[in-house]
Chains A and B, each alone.
Chain A
């Protein structure tokens, strides 16, 4: 593939609904990251997957957030019972060895 692919590019949802965000990393990249980008807040780390190891979930802001990575490739970030403060751009990135991250275009999530 040409790069990290994220879908949807935009998601508008109502408060209280669940959403799923998808990330397709660069083929062969064993590391996958989710970050959240809010206006003026920079990039906030959410979760990190490396190969078949247990993910580092230390950045997830609450138990409403979860993520999985199937077959060491595609990842899904799920936000349950969305709140307005969840509105942000959710970025996925992949890396071969952590030397540099390759980012997707992001999903703009708006919670009304």
Chain B
């Protein structure tokens, strides 16, 4: 069975600092990876997908199959980035994603 690990429950940075939210996975096949974000008092929403290879709100994530990681990065954090971030893996041939436990990002002014 697949597993998604987000090793940090909480990540605290200052505005303008780089931020990296870690996501590691275990799965033997070819997965599809996602990052979801939940801002305060808002619903959970998709941030980005690895196959899109896009940058959303300044965030990027690269799938590293060798290290089985999909870390989320942003070079200069903003206060409005403060939120709960979830990494998710969808196994090949399945439509059911498995989520990590989430990392709470706090960006201080």
Residues of A within 8 A of B (CB): 3-4, 31, 33, 35, 40-43, 45, 48, 50, 56, 91, 93, 95, 98-106
The interface residues of chain B lying within 8 Å CB-to-CB of A4 are 43
Q: In the complex the two chains form, what is the Cα distance from A42 to B9 in whole Å?
A: 10
- Count CB-based A-B contacts (< 8 Å): 42
Chain B, interface residues (CB within 8 Å), range: 10 to 19
Q: In the complex the two chains form, what is the Cα distance from A41 to B101 in whole Å?
A: 5
In addition to A40-B9, A40-B101, A45-B96, 13 A-B residue pairs with Cβ atoms within 8 Å of each other are A31-B95, A42-B86, A42-B101, A45-B99, A48-B96, A56-B96, A95-B95, A98-B90, A101-B97, A103-B44, A104-B43, A105-B43, A106-B43
Taking CB as reference atom, which chain B residue is nearest A95?
B95
The interface residues of chain A lying within 8 Å CB-to-CB of B101 are 40-42
Residues of B within 8 A of A (CB): 9, 34, 36, 43-46, 49, 86, 90, 95-102
Quote the shortest CB–CB distance from A37 to chain B (angstroms): 8
Q: In the complex the two chains form, what is the Cα distance from A99 to B29 in whole Å?
A: 17
Contact B99 A48 (CB under 8 A): no
- CB-CB under 8 A for A99 and B43, given A42-B100, A50-B95: no
A-B contact pairs, 13 of them (CB 8 A): A4-B43, A35-B99, A42-B86, A42-B102, A45-B96, A45-B98, A45-B99, A48-B95, A99-B49, A101-B36, A102-B45, A103-B43, A106-B43
Majority secondary structure of chain A interface residues (helix, strand, loop or mixed) = strand
Q: In the complex the two chains form, what is the Cα distance from A4 to B101 in whole Å?
A: 23
The interface residues of chain B lying within 8 Å CB-to-CB of A91 are 44
The interface residues of chain A lying within 8 Å CB-to-CB of B43 are 3-4, 103-106
- CB-CB under 8 A for A42 and B95, given A100-B46, A100-B49, A106-B43: no
Q: In the complex the two chains form, what is the Cα distance from A93 to B44 in whole Å?
A: 9
